[in-house]
Amino acid sequence: MSLVDSFSLDDLTQRCASETEKFNRREPSDARFCFELLRRALADEMSDAFTRVYQIYERQVLVWVHSHSGFARSGESADYFGSTAWSKFYFALCGPKFDSFPSLQQVLAYLKLCVHTAIAQYLRDQQPAPTMPLDDAPNAAHLPDLGTRIVAAELWRQIEQLLTDRRDRLLARCAFVEDLKPRQIVKAYPTFWKDEREISVELYRIRRLLRNDPELRRLAS
Amino acid sequence: MECSSPPPLTDDQLSAALDQAAAPDVIDHLASCASCAARLEAAQQAEQSMRSALYRWDCPTPQTIADYHLGRPSAEEQRAIVRHLETCARCSEELAELVLFMRDEAALAAPAEPSPARRPASRGWSLARLLPRVPALALRGGAGAPLMFETDDGVTIFLELQPVAGGQIELRGQLVADDQDGWAGALAELRQSGILRATAAIDDLGTFRVAALPPQPTELRVTRADGRALRLPEFELAS
C-alpha cells in the first residue's frame, strides 16, 4: 500500500490542489496525489472524489475551451463544452478503462482531448445538412441513424459504380459527401485540380453521368 | 411546359447555375423562362436530396479521430482511418486542428465569460421546465411530492428531496426518456451560486443520488458523452 492510498479524501484534495498550483507556476510538483484522487474518482467511481477533481481542474478545462480554435465560431457557451468534456472524460475512463492511463500526464491529456472532441462534434453537428436552413439545424449530438447510413452506403455504392475514375470519385466525394465548395477542393487537393473553373467543368460532366441513372434517382428520392 | 425563349438551357448551363456560376445570359434566361427555371429547381432538389443523404455518412466521429491520434485503436482500425483521411479533407482538417490544440500550452487565465444577458442563446442545452407538483406522487413518508421537470425533446426528470442530518438535503433523481439507454453514464452536476457542489453518474435505470447538499437554490445539469445535455431552471433545495 503506497503512502497516498492512506490519505483521506480531504487531505488528498488539498495536496492535489497544492501540487496543481505548483505545476501551474512551473515549479517542481508531485503528481501522485492528483493521480490517486483521479484513480478514486474514475477507477473506483467515487462521486465525491470526482466532484473534487472537477473542482480542481474546472478552470483549466474552461481555459482549454476558450483556447480551442473552434470555440469562437461555435457561438456556444464555454460551460456547455466544459460539461460535455467532463462527461466524455468520465464515460471514457470510468471503471477498468482507467487502467489504460498509467500517469497523471496521460489522464490530463485525455481530459484536454475531450475538450476538443466536445467542440469538434458540436461543430460537425451544427453544420446543416445541405437541405436545411441554418435555424433548423439539429441540436448537438445529432448523428445519422443506422437507417440513414444504410441508405447513404447504397447511394454511394451506386455512385462508385457510375464513376469508375478515381479522380471523379474523389471530386464527387468532396462535393456531395463533404459539401466542399470548389475553392475548398482546390486548396485541399492542389495536385489534382489547379483552379475552380476546372472543378466546375468536371462537376458538370459528373452530374450528367449521375443525373441519367434511374437507380440513383430512386435511391436519392 | 416548353421553353419560352428557345433553345432551352443545356444541362451544363444548369450545372453552372447550381454552382452559382452561371453566365449573365443564363441568369437572364432563368428569370424569364418558367420551364428552364423549373428544370433548375428540380435539379437543385435532386442534388440537395443526394447531398443531404450523403453528408459525411462514412466519416469517423471526432472521438474516433482523437483516439487514432493517441494510437488507441487496433492496427486494423488505424489502417481504415488512414485510408479515410487520404480522401477526406474535412476529417484531415479536424485532425490537424486537434494536433495543434494538443500542442498548444494555453495560458492559465481564462477570458471572462459574457454575462448571461449577453451570452448567445445556447443550442447545446435542452432547457427543462418545472411542472406543477403532484402530491399523489410522493413516494416516501415525510418527503414532499417530487419536483418534476420536462424538456421539449421528451425527457422527464423527477427530483425527490429528503432532509438529512445537519440540516442538509439528500437529492434522489430519476430521469425518464424514450432513449433511456443513451442517458446511462451521463454526468449530473449540481451547482449552487455558480459553484459546483456535487456530481453523480446516471445509472442504467436513470437514477442518481447526492447524499447531502445545503438547502440553497440549486441548478442541475445533465450531460451525455455524445453532447446531448439538459439544464434545469434553478430550484429551491427544500423538501
pLDDT at residue A39 tops 50: yes
Domain co-membership, A159 together with A99:
no
Instruction: Write down the CATH number for the domain with range B125-236.
Output: 2.60.40.10
Question: Cβ of A206 under 8 Å from any chain B Cβ?
Answer: no
| Helix axes A196-211 and B34-54, enclosed angle (nearest 10) | 90
Q: pTM of this prediction?
A: 0.85
A174 domain-assigned:
yes
Helix (H) or strand (E) run with residue B223 in it:
strand B217-223
Range of the domain at A155: 146-220
Domain co-membership, A19 together with A105:
yes
Q: Give the pLDDT confidence score for residue A17 in this predicted structure.
A: 96
A135 domain-assigned:
no
- Report the half-sphere exposure of A190 (CA within 13 A, side-chain side): 1
Domain co-membership, A121 together with A150:
no
A137 domain-assigned:
no
Helix (H) or strand (E) run with residue A118 in it:
helix A104-126
pLDDT at residue A132 tops 70: no
pLDDT at residue A159 tops 90: yes
Helix (H) or strand (E) run with residue B44 in it:
helix B34-54
pLDDT at residue A133 tops 60: no
Please give the tally of structural domains in chain A. 2
B232: exposed, middle or buried (Cβ count in 10 Å: 0-12, 13-18, 19+): buried
Residue window 86-105, chain B: list those with CB within 8 Å of chain A.
Answer: 87-90, 92, 94, 97-98, 100-102, 104
At A216, list the grid cell: 440513383
Mean predicted lDDT score pLDDT of chain B: 88
Distance CA B12, CA B25 (A): 14
The CB density around residue A66, as the number of other CB atoms within 10 Å, is: 19
pLDDT at residue B85 tops 80: yes
Domain co-membership, A121 together with A151:
no
Domain co-membership, A8 together with A62:
yes
At B33, list the grid cell: 423562362
| A138 — pLDDT class (breaks 50, 70, 90) | very low
Domain co-membership, A8 together with A107:
yes
Query: Cα–Cα distances in Å, from A143 out to A79, A195, B143?
Result: 22, 34, 40
Domain co-membership, A113 together with A34:
yes
pLDDT above 90 as % of chain B? 68
Q: Give the pLDDT confidence score for residue A135 in this predicted structure.
A: 45
Q: Give the pLDDT confidence score for residue B107 in this predicted structure.
A: 54
At A76, list the grid cell: 456556444
Q: Give the pLDDT confidence score for residue B95 in this predicted structure.
A: 96
DSSP string over A119-165? HHHHHHHHSPPTTS-GGGPPPTT----HHHHHHHHHHHHHHHHH--S
pLDDT at residue B60 tops 60: yes
* Residue B39, C-beta contacts closer than 8 angstroms, at least 6 positions apart: B8, B9, B14
Q: Which of residues A78, A93, A126 is at a domain's end? A: A126
Arithmetic mean of pLDDT, B116-135: 77
Q: What is the pLDDT of residues A174-215, one digit of tens each?
A: 999 999 988 999 999 999 999 988 998 899 999 988 988 888
Distance CA B182, CA B169 (A): 28
- Per DSSP, what are the bridge partners of residue B10? none
Domain extents in chain B: 11-54, 62-103, 125-236
Residue A113 to residue B70, Cβ atoms within 8 A = yes
Residue (of A127, A52, A119, A135) closest to A83 by Cα position: A119
The residue count of chain A comes to: 221
Q: Give the pLDDT confidence score for residue B208 in this predicted structure.
A: 97
Q: For residue A125, list chain B residues with Cβ-Cβ distance below 8 A.
A: 227
Domain co-membership, A112 together with A161:
no
Arithmetic mean of pLDDT, B201-228: 95
Identity of the residue in B54, B62, B72 whose CB atom sits nearest the CB atom of A120: B62
C-beta of residue A155 within 8 angstroms of C-beta of residue B63? no
Question: Cβ of B51 under 8 Å from any chain A Cβ?
Answer: yes
Mean predicted lDDT score pLDDT of chain A: 89
